[in-house]
Structure 1
Amino acid sequence: MENMNENTNQNRFNFKVNESITDLVSKNYVYAAVLHYFGIDFYNHAHQTLAQTCAEKGIDATVLIKQLEEAVMKRKFYESGKAINQKISHYPIQLVIEYLKHAHRIFMRRSLPYMSKLVCDCDSNGFEKQYKSIIEDLKIAFPLFAEDFIHHIFEEEDSLFDYINLLDNAFYEKIPMTKVFYPMQEHSISRFLRQHQQDDDEMKGIRELTSNYKITSKTPLLIKVLYSELKDFEEELKIHADIENRILLPKALKLEVKLKQNIIEKSKFN
């Protein structure tokens, strides 16, 4: 593994297989997440080189480096949230829902477990007083946030998404109109929209606890990575909420209005 070829050394982002894991992560905190998914917690291999760590773990370095490169590109893609929204705005409503459900799975299966591990692995005894207090509070606050967030996801899928799918199926006559009549008495897209806008700032407590994810030159690298992940996650949630509030719910509201009009028109002939 130490004798990697020149193609591995010469890559788009100039990864050097002989640099330490600490130096690698210090360049871009998103690399820590990629290493984690390969079974490498950077803080446990801080002084090893990329080549040494890959050899120890039996990892193909070329595959790992490719994933590191892709992580940078994905981050740039997420930073262009407006472009994402513009593309999704043209999707049919059921495809928008599938996109949002896919994002939910990533949040629950990757983002939350990774951030939770970072919080758990932060040894507050090794930090200065200011960070010791924050980490101790985060170890209480973050699991509560994650639990509430997951509950919100399931509730949203079981109520809002199911209702919108029902509206869509009824409008395109995939199901009888009678199957949507009573759910429309119980639910309202306008009410969903109001509630959703009120609940959008889900990370307010975490943000305030970390002083807006404040990082200085003296901040320990593990804290820098954790704060970076929390901040990036909040940005992803903003994009996610924007898709729901500006694309999904307006589409659903139009659908609901048209269906009500159809029901009124049909009732005139009965």
Structure 2
Amino acid sequence: MIITAQKTVAEVVADNIKTAHVFKKYGIDFCCGGGITIQKACSNHNIDYDIVRNELMAIDQKNKKEFDYNNWELGFLIDHIIHVHHTYVEESIGILLAYTEKVANVHGHHYPELIKIKELFLEVANELTTHMKKEELILFPFIKKLIKADQTQTPYASPHFGTVKNPVQMMEYEHENAGTIFKTIAKLTNNYTPPEEACNTFKALYAELDDFEQDLHLHIHLENNIVHPKAVALEKKVQNCL
């Protein structure tokens, strides 16, 4: 995707609907007011054009890299999950809440499923927000204590939850619930396929929901299939050695 200062906002969104959330993030109208150039839109909003351009260019690079997550150091992988996936969820929730509200209000009378999608996303957004805080404040810090205990061969304070298996089981239950909600959203959106007559905001909503679910799948995979089993094994190892 080629981005130039003289390309209009509407042209960029037409080329790749997933760029819409970048414009939404900066308050730039990509729907009815998308006929102006990107540079002019940035100037109108007192935004650095280069910053917006770089974010638009990054859309094409998203999810192209593949990593050998299983061979990463456990502490590094945890930091990656927080800085990449938790940050993505936090930033995307605000955008998607605005999209679901607007599209449901404008098009909900013709497409009643949009009302349900709005309700379901609000539910999963609230659950994920609480879920990630529990990971950041309880589970992940304890796993890092286990890592330190293993590296230094020193004892660690027993957690109030007994064993790491308990928060792990709770996190995996919540992962399953979030996944179930998104299965319903995917079904309601016909696998994120907007109607032919859909406006750009309608299309952007479905594209962003699709991205969100894809990121959620990887996010859950990293935790359920790599972090959690390694944490359980590490706890057992440390207990046996101390």
How far residue 185 of structure 1 moved from its aligned partner, in angstroms, is 7.6
- Which structure 1 residue ranges, 4+ long, deviate > 4 Å from structure 2? 16-19
Correspondence list, 1:256-267, <5 A: 256-263=235-242
Correspondence list, 1:1-270, <5 A: 13-15=1-3, 17-73=5-61, 75=62, 78-80=63-65, 83-84=66-67, 86=68, 88-102=69-83, 103-108=85-90, 110-122=91-103, 124-125=105-106, 127=107, 129-131=109-111, 133-173=112-152, 175-177=154-156, 179-180=157-158, 183=159, 186-189=162-165, 192=168, 196=172, 199-200=175-176, 201=179, 202-263=181-242
CA offsets 1:157-207 (integer angstroms, 9 cap, x no match)? 333213212222222237534x24xx3981243872586167331523322
Question: Which letter maps to 2:23?
Answer: L
Question: Which letter maps to 1:92?
Answer: E
Contact 1:32 1:41 in 2 (8 A): no
Identity, % of aligned pairs? 24
Which structure 2 residue ranges, 5 or more long, are not aligned? none
Mapped partners of 2:235, 2:33: distance in 1: 55
Mapped partners of 1:138, 1:19: distance in 2: 33
Helix, strand or coil: the match of 2:214?
A: helix
Residues 207 and 172 (structure 1), Cα distance of their counterparts in 2 relative to 1, 3 Å cut: same
Mapped partners of 2:10, 2:118: distance in 1: 24
Helix, strand or coil: the match of 1:217?
A: coil
Residues 66 and 262 (structure 1), Cα distance of their counterparts in 2 relative to 1, 3 Å cut: closer
How far residue 123 of structure 1 moved from its aligned partner, in angstroms, is 5.8
Provide the TM-score with structure 1 as the length reference: 0.75
CA RMSD across the alignment:
2.8
Greater RCO, CA 8 A, separation 6+: 2
How far residue 138 of structure 1 moved from its aligned partner, in angstroms, is 3.0
How far residue 220 of structure 1 moved from its aligned partner, in angstroms, is 2.5
Provide the TM-score with structure 2 as the length reference: 0.83
CA offsets 1:130-161 (integer angstroms, 9 cap, x no match)? 42x12322333322221111111112233321
User: Number of matched residues?
Assistant: 238
Deviates more, 1:156-165 or 1:227-236: 156-165
